[in-house]
Each structure stands twice: as structure tokens, then as C-alpha cells.
Structure 1
């Protein structure tokens, strides 16, 4: 027993701590803490992220000895200022974000994590396509009145939409396909399609097709939802069309690509406009001055629409859109040019269950200029058009033109027109949506600044007069097209 005790004492002696005779110098450090940063910060895309944290120090040092860093993800720097005030060009999402304070002289730092929630700003509003410094450019005018310039470049740094912009279109959600915005350009790429939520690139224009057409030359876009069908949970039931280089390409609700909707041996060249209604899809062949109807059988072919002999002889379609019909079936208002002269004609056509029928043809009394912008009022019998810095209304009932507005500014030029309906709740039937107003947006070039494009907003009255509402000046380049984003 004594032997065991002696062995235990020996082991205790060998394993006991020895006296620490090292020479250490101890000093206090500056402990840094941060307050004033919420655990979650929610901000709207493209708006200003602003926060002013409070720095607490146990041994305060000068401001020159402190560095700051705000970042998201791995290392996507937002700011290097104490009080952050920076635009948020991130995609809508939830991010892990951090604020770091560093004392330069010691290397001591404090990192504060928080969640940054970026919400999409891009609800309903007007998309404005323009040519800015040789490139296609998109501006977005939100319904509340805020304008976001350079939408695409903000979320796609270093990229461009294309050159020689031609048209911007909103393409609705289908059963198996998302909604997207297509910017059409007359360049080698043809433009591209964008996600309408955050304006990231969705696809190149060429990727919209089952077979890439050659050449890539977008002309127009047409959309028609199925008659008497409501929107489904998966999107609208519809057919829509892209006209590329005068040839038709079709996409239905259940198909994700645009497919050739024509026989390769058919000789035609379509205008950019589509006539749709009563489950009919009709197009105008500018090559042979005739209307063609897409047939369901045989597939991928057209039949010539019968009209009074000589009615459209040697006529070239300049512009067409759905016009005022009252309680009748769809009416289309058209502007045609005679190929052998400088004469222009107004033509009104009806699309009814019994077929396609021209109703009126009369010579236009005003001079139609090349690239003249038009817009059709679908609540009154009128076509609006611009000449220089003056906006006119052509009354399709009496064939007369009157000036509507000319206060766009000295040297201004009207370059684009766009009409859009506005809906609201019925006062007579609560919960029911009804047409509340028709807005006319006028794209105007005001020379003298790099961003020459301005947009004026009007309400169309029932007597074809206009009520000025507001304007946004110098928000774009030379405006070529506008559309409403839903």
C-alpha cells in the first residue's frame, strides 16, 4: 500500500506545473462594437440603400485610423463609407450582407452580418426603347412616376442590348413559358429577350426560334389570346407571332419556341402588322398587295383573303392597329401607300365570324412622311400622328385632321406614339374591373442634351381632345418604340 502511495506522489510531482518565468507585456485593446444595423434590411431594386451605423469603441481612435466595408455574398462591394448611400443594382433576392469596421493600426476588426432583401421595383409601367450613343437603351417609367434609366446596363454591367433598336414588345406568360420582354434590333444579333422582373438577359433573339431564321431581321410582333378564355393559373391561352424578314413564326400556349408558320415555297413578304380576331390570323403581303390568312389545314400555309377586286391593288401597308369598334366585332384602322404614287389611303376593315371585310377606303388629305409615328384610339374614331413638334388627330369619321398639341418645345420632333388602356374598379359593380382611361404616350426628341428623349403623357378624351398629365424630360436617347410592362 505504501508503495502505491509513493508512486502516486512521484507522478504528481512530475506532472505539476512549473513556475512560468516568461517576460510578457500586457496592454488593453480597442474593442469595437456596432449598433444601428437591423438584422434584415429591405430595399427596392435600383433605389438607394441608406444606413448610418453607430461605432462604439472602448479606446476611441481617430476616424483616420478606421476603415469601413459594406459587401454582399463572397465579396461584392457595396460601399467603403461609414454611412452607406449607394444604388442597389442587385437582382431581386435575399442576400447575406456584412458591415466591417477595421482599425488600420492594429488590424483589429468587427464584422456585423445582416440580411439584405432586394425587392423588384419593376411592376407595371412604360418601357421606353431608344437609340443612345449608337446602342439600344431601355428606360422604365414606373406608374408611381419614378424613372429608372439604363435598366439593362444596371443589372448587366458591360453588356449592351444591341444596335439600331427597332421595337420593344411585352410577351405574355404561357402555359409552359415565362413572360419576357423582347428588344428587337436591326443588327447581326437581332436583339435579345429579358426577364421582366429584374431585366437580366433571358435569351438571345435567335434562341426564341425552334430553327434560327437567316437572316435575323425582326419586323413585328402580334399577340392574340383565345376568344372567351380566361387566364389560367399557368398564364394566358394564346397564339403569338414574330414576323422576321417578312416571314411568319408562330408560338402557341403549349410550345416554348417560335416555329415557322409558312411553307418555304410560298412567295410573300409580310408587313410587320397582324390582324387578329374571331380566331382568325390575317397578315398583309406587301410584295403582292394581298391579305393572307393562316390556315389550320394544311399546316404552315396561307390562303388568300377574298376582297373586292382591285381594292388593295398596288397598295403598301404603312401602319395598322385595332381601332374603335363600339359593340361591333374587331375593326382595324390602316394607312396604305400607293406604290406608284405618293398617295396614301385610310382603310377600315372588319373581322367578324363571317369573315374579313373592308368597310371604308378614302384618300388621306395630309402628307404622310416616311417613319411618321401613328397611334390608333380604340375608344374613339381617331388616328393620332406626329409631324415635327406638332401632334395631330385624324378623325376617321369625317376624314379631317386637327392639331391636338404643340407645346413640346422649340426644335422638338415627335418620334414615337403609344396608346395603352388603364383599368380600375367599377363604381357601379364593386369588384369588377372596367376601362377607366386611355393614355397616350408621346416620345419626343429634344436636341441639345445627350439624352434627347422625353416622354409626354396625355389622357384621350371622348371628343378626341387630349388632356396633358405629366412629362419626363431627357430620360432616353432618340425614342423609337414604347410598350407597357405588366
Structure 2
């Protein structure tokens, strides 16, 4: 989002009114100046939407008896000759101006003003992307989120369900055996693409983030068409230079991009990623956007340790390294990052150390002692990788937590660490969510109070997917095995019981929901 705001600032500075003479036989009178302005520096619209613009004309003299003509243009094409613009958007683009030329027909002098247009397709907006299994087939759906200013702190959110968007756009079935989705970006900017991981039909497919049209198949970008044996992907990480796809057996296959300006370039190789002459197990990659660390954190299940996969630059992308840790930073009861000992990692998520800033990142795990069965929280932070040194990690805290009422060995559990760190009185969301069938439980990692039940959904529904990648993690999407979709409020006021927790409950059955990802649309320096 930072990039977008910077661009808008530049546009605002540049979007000033001007005038010019048609070089006819007229005498220019500066008292006839007309200043053209708009109520905002830009407007947003989607393809096919009718927009209305009403310019403000400020005259240097009385405007009651002025003979004017108007010409609206966009991308060099005239779109209206009326004073106020009514135009059906027929182009997808961003950061281009709609111009209004106003000519004083008595003097022949033309005055110009412009407003920036952010024009996108109907599907290039923030939304939750939902991957589900229905009637044995993969189904991708799009739930658009719209924010309205109702005078409240964060506004009012409304939602529009667009089921089976892949079939709608591409006119064909997506495939079978759905796994997960991943939004990824290119350094040149633009709306992020979406990888859909599935193990049946056409296999994994990358889709345009603008309109969800099919771009490329994963099977087609392995070198010489050589796919790994028993290739059934379960996860993917797409960074600036390196793309990693994780097979069901934990083996990691990589692609080094030829350029970071494109969503896809270069080929995967069918040789698994290695570290210290051994294949690494990458089945626990920790997807952590907006960190700008120049690497991805990975939990190596075989050796029970955390490692980093480098992405600092093209030449070293794919190098696996250990974290540098000051030994004095380890408390006696803190499980080491290079050897977690008797601890089993149930889940690792990430959080922002400083809201909205990059360069440092926190990683938060739920551990279980294999001997005692006790549960623990495990918190460490890392800094960015540089050309002169490997990344450093800093142990924060490990403490015991009672989760026996949530994790019982028979109920379905889904974990989620909300990314936002505490910031202000009602902004931070320092929470860990754990589902237990139809119940959602919450742990405040800041207050460290006992885990509490946050929300109970109807009996018979089982939570299968949780996503908290909306801005500030203030809204969380919940997907059910039986096809229901919900959005919950996780602001401090909702957590403290000062406002309603349920924001949205869809009436559509999406099928068995297997994964949800919030579509942020625009990436940043991290690049995935």
C-alpha cells in the first residue's frame, strides 16, 4: 500500500491546472483565466462502471456570460464534450489522468485540468479468495469486500459473493484435489497474481490478479518437462527471485527467476533443495508478507530446527542458512532454534514488530513437549539478511500454556497467528486463534491471559480454514467444512465485548473450504 500512496502524492503534485493559446488571432486577457479543480486528487472505478465527474470551474471574472466548450480525454481519446462527465469505464489501467480542456470561445484560450484514474477490473479489488472442494472438483470463489464510511472508527464492511469465479471467467473447470492459494507479485508493481495449488485435473495454475484468467500451468515450467516423481504440491512460496514449491513428502523444488519484473520467468528443476548435503524438509514454510527480510523462514521437521532460504539477490537466491544467535540470549527453558529438542512444532506464524514497517519480524509458535504433553508458546524475532552477514535471531520468550480444553486429539484444530503488533489503544491485534471443531478460541500473546472461547458457530459446522491477512488483521475470515463462510471482527473493541463480533455470514454454500487468502492486490519490497 505504501507504493500506491507515494504514487498518488506524485500525481497530486503534478495534477495542476494550466492554460494554453490556440495561437489564433486573439488577444489573451489574463483576467479571463479559468482554474479547473476536482473534489479529490483521484477516483477509483471498475471496468463497466459508469462514473460521473463534476469539475469545479473558478473564473477570474464574472462567469454569467461566458461562451465555453468542453473536451474530456483519456489516454489520448475524446470521451465527452459536456461540462460534466458521464463515462462508462472501458479500460483497465492506473495512474493515468482524465483531462478536461475548457476553451473560451471568445478568446480561443484553452484551460486544462486533470484527475488521476485508478481503473481496474471487477475482480482487481480487495477480497477474500476461497478455495474449496465441491462434488469432487476444485472451486475457486471471490468474496469482494467494500468499505463504506459510516462515521465509525473503521467504517462499515459489506461483501459480494462471486462463486466459482474460475469457471465464470475461463469457461472451464478448474480441476480436482484442491490444496491452497498464494498471491504473488512482480517488482514492477501491478495487481498480484494467484497460484492455485491442486493435485488433479490440469494441476497447479497461475491466474491473473486483474481478472482471474489463466496465465500458466506449473507443470509447463519445469525444465525439459521433467516433473519430480510422485509430484503432489502442498505449498508454495514466491519471493523476489526464488520460487519454492513443496511436495507432499517435504521435498522443495525451486525456480530462480530470470527477472524479478515478471510474475513468471525461468524454470523449476526437479532436483530437491539441499542443505549440508542433505535434502531439507520444507513442509512448514512460514509465509510472512511485508517483512522485507530477503529470505523465508522454514521449519525443518526432520532436524527439528528453523532455517532461512535466501532471496537477497539473484546470485544467492536459494541458499539455505542457519540463524546467528547470541548464546547468551537463550534462557535455560527456551527451545533452541537450531535444535528444538523434545518439542514438537504444531504451528508457526508471524507478527509485525513495528506496525507497517519492514526489516524485523516476529515468529510465534505453539509447541508440545513430546514427553509431558504440555503446551508452550515460543516467540523469537529476526532481522533482515545482508550481503555481509547471515540473518540473526533473538529469543524472546517461551512459556507454558494450557490448551487441553482446545486440543484433545479428536477435534479438528486450525491455527492462525494474527500479524499485527500492538499499536495504540485500539489498533493492535496480538492474538493467536485456535479452532476446535465449530468453536474459535483466542489467546492474547501480549496479555498472556488464559485461552478463551471467542466465538461459537452452529453445531455441526467444522472450521477448516482461517485467514487474517486483512489490513491490521482486524477482520478474520473463517471457512467451514460444510461450505459456510464468515467474517469476524478482531478489533480490541470486539474482543472486549464492546461491539458485535460477527461482520458477515454468507448464505452461499461454497463447498468444503480448504483454504482462504485475503487478496491485498498490491505488493511491496518483499515481493511475494
Partner residue of 2:392 out of 355, 358, 367: 355
How far off its partner does 1:190 sit? 4.1
Cα drift, residue 393 of structure 1: 0.5
Structure 1 286/459 Cα, relative in aligned 2: closer, same or farther at 3 Å? same
Aligned residues: 345
Deviation, structure 1 residue 129: 0.8
Change in 2 beyond 3 A, CA 1:169/1:348:
same
- Any idea what the Cα deviations from partners look like across 1:97-118, whole Å, max 9, x if unmatched? xxxxxxxxxxxxxxxxxxxxxx
RMSD, aligned CA: 3.8
Cα contact 1:221–1:240 (8 A) shared by 2 = yes
Inter-partner Cα distance in structure 1 for 2:437 and 2:322: 38
If each structure's strand is expressed as a fraction of its own residues, which one has the higher value? 1
CA contact (8 A) 2:202 2:217 kept: yes
Correspondences of 1:181-220 after superposition (within 5 Å): 181-187=194-200, 190-210=203-223, 212-220=227-235
**Deviations for 1:17-54, whole angstroms, at most 9, x for unmatched residues?**
xxxxxxxxxxxxxxxxxxxxxxxxx9968x9xxxxxxx
Whether 2:189 is the aligned partner of 1:152: answer no
After TM superposition, what 4+ stretches of structure 1 lie above 6 angstroms from structure 2?
Answer: 42-45, 296-299
Task: Give the Å deviation of 1:239.
Answer: 5.1
> Structure 1: where are the runs of 5+ without partners?
1-41, 48-91, 93-118, 225-236, 423-434
Q: Extract unaligned runs of 5+ from structure 2.
A: 1-44, 50-91, 93-119, 147-158, 385-390, 422-428, 522-528
The structure with the largest alpha-carbon Rg is 1
Alpha-carbon distance, 1:167 to partner: 0.7
User: Is 2:466 aligned against 1:417?
Assistant: yes
Residue in 1 aligned with 2:349?
A: 321
- The alpha-carbon deviation at position 140 of structure 1 amounts to 0.7
Whole-Å separation in 1 of the counterparts to 2:476 and 2:365: 19
TM-score by length of 2: 0.56
Equivalent residue number for residue 181 of structure 2: 168
Q: Go from structure 1 to structure 2 and tell me whether the alpha carbon gap of 1:272 and 1:217 turns closer, same or farther (over 3 Å shift).
A: farther
In structure 2, the CA distance between the partners of 1:189 and 1:216, relative to structure 1 (3 Å rule), is farther
2:320 equivalent in structure 1: 302
Secondary structure class of the residue paired with 2:124 = coil
1:474 paired residue among 508, 511, 515: 508
Whether the 8 Å contact between 1:136 and 1:165 is mirrored in structure 2 is yes
- C-alpha contact (below 8 Å) 1:455/1:473 kept by paired residues: no
1:393 touches 1:464 (CA, 8 Å); kept in 2?
no
Cα distance in 2 for residues equivalent to 1:209 and 1:320: 30
Q: Which residue of 2 aligns with 1:137?
A: 139
Alpha-carbon deviation of 1:132? Answer: 0.8
Quote the Cα distance in structure 2 between the aligned partners of 1:240 and 1:319: 22
The alignment's TM-score, normalised by the length of structure 1, stands at 0.61
Matched, 1:247 2:283: no
Alignment of 1:335-484 (within 5 A): 335-338=366-369, 342-352=373-383, 355-367=392-404, 368=407, 372-377=413-418, 378-379=420-421, 380-397=429-446, 398=448, 400-406=450-456, 408-422=457-471, 438-445=474-481, 447=482, 452-461=483-492, 464-465=495-496, 467-484=501-518
Q: Deviations over 1:439-478 (max 9, x none)?
A: 1111134x5xxxx332334243278457322221234011
Partner of 2:361: 330
Find the residue that maps to 1:121 and give its secondary structure: coil
Q: 1:280 to 1:142 in 2, by over 3 A?
A: closer
